[in-house]
Homo-oligomer: A and B are copies of this chain.
């Protein structure tokens, strides 16, 4: 692949896409959905080839599972495309607009960022989602999935090209690329053509991209998420929130990994541990936890920093809300953390003190997702602070320009 050509084609497409009417972008999304349904057989057999190769290569079973793109996944992608088509188009929206005392009309107008490069592992569904998100927000996309998903991604890339062409949009607006590590390295230097890099995957991948890239990166790091059970919290409610946060989807980044229990609430430890065991979750705990309940494996310092993404939980007893905040800011990943409490003052303290993108009171960490938060859907969850934090929707893929209208306004007096 010629890296520079890909980047230049993306830049050219972006200029066209920025001015494309919403209907045309929605039309391309609709066509992509239709093609995915009609040609599901081809997509499934491309995925089958990837799966065979992956098993032959002895890929880890967890990764093979992520690689699978079955009929259920295809129909959920079709629904996702419909959902994104139904979302409001952020491009052209104005905000913070008004008339200045001197009569100047000042507005900020949302415009696309330009060209977005997504780098991700396995999961071919990202090739559909990320393409749709970039397209709807008027950005050209360069999608670089993992080599293990190559066949399926190429097939999806072909469907994108057809959908774009039939909708009258530039066919290079969504480019699915493979390319070696060196080629991706080269792509990451082309800040003249690419405006943003979003890496999704393991910590190592993300860090290496952030270090190499000359293009701004919004990192989507792991989620070491917490539920803190406060002194005086309703025990049944606390357990339900902790179980939901851990067990509903243990494999997602906003699943909880560590329960912090206030010393004053530690009388409920037996019930807490019992509930996790009943749901098939292995419990590791600090010494105090192990004094309070049976069947708890010892947890060490490493556990507090670990994203299990599995049916394993760590539990630690802390003094009070201040200790909980300290633990979370020290060991967590600034992602999603929740307090279960009956105290308004401690709820406020937790909301203010925890330095994470999403902080919840009396709710499961599962609610850290774009749809729950009213953004329609999300392209990912940023663990960065610049530009976008927490779930990223369409708006987070735009920037703005100041549009200013005067009536011959000047600052100096040139008649003197």
Q: A96: which B residues are within 8 A, CB to CB?
A: 374
Q: Which of A154-162, A179-187, A398-406 contacts B (4 or more CB under 8 A)?
A: A398-406
| Minimum distance in angstroms from A217 CB to a CB of chain B | 8
Q: Which of A38-46, A63-71, A119-127, A385-393 contacts B (4 or more CB under 8 A)?
A: A385-393
B361 near A404: Cβ-Cβ < 8 Å: yes
When A19-B352, A210-B214, A211-B214 are in contact, do A362 and B405 touch as well, CB less than 8 Å? yes
Question: Smallest CB-CB separation from A195: which chain B residue?
Answer: B385
User: A130 near B: Cβ within 8 Å?
Assistant: no
Count of residues in A whose CB is under 8 Å from the partner chain:
66
User: A318 near B: Cβ within 8 Å?
Assistant: no
A367 near B237: Cβ-Cβ < 8 Å: no
Number of copies: 2
Query: What is the predominant secondary structure among interface residues of chain A facing chain B?
Result: mixed
Q: A366: which B residues are within 8 A, CB to CB?
A: 410-412
As a 0/1 sequence over residues 91 to 125 of chain A, the CB contacts with chain B under 8 angstroms (1 = contact) are: 00000101010101010010001100000000000
User: A363 near B: Cβ within 8 Å?
Assistant: yes
Bound form: Cα–Cα A368–B100 in Å: 13
A402 near B414: Cβ-Cβ < 8 Å: no
As a 0/1 sequence over residues 339 to 365 of chain A, the CB contacts with chain B under 8 angstroms (1 = contact) are: 000000001000110011111111110
B359 near A410: Cβ-Cβ < 8 Å: no
Contact sample, A vs B, 14 pairs, CB 8 Å cutoff: A104-B372, A210-B214, A216-B386, A347-B405, A361-B406, A362-B407, A363-B405, A363-B409, A366-B411, A368-B402, A389-B399, A389-B400, A389-B401, A391-B402
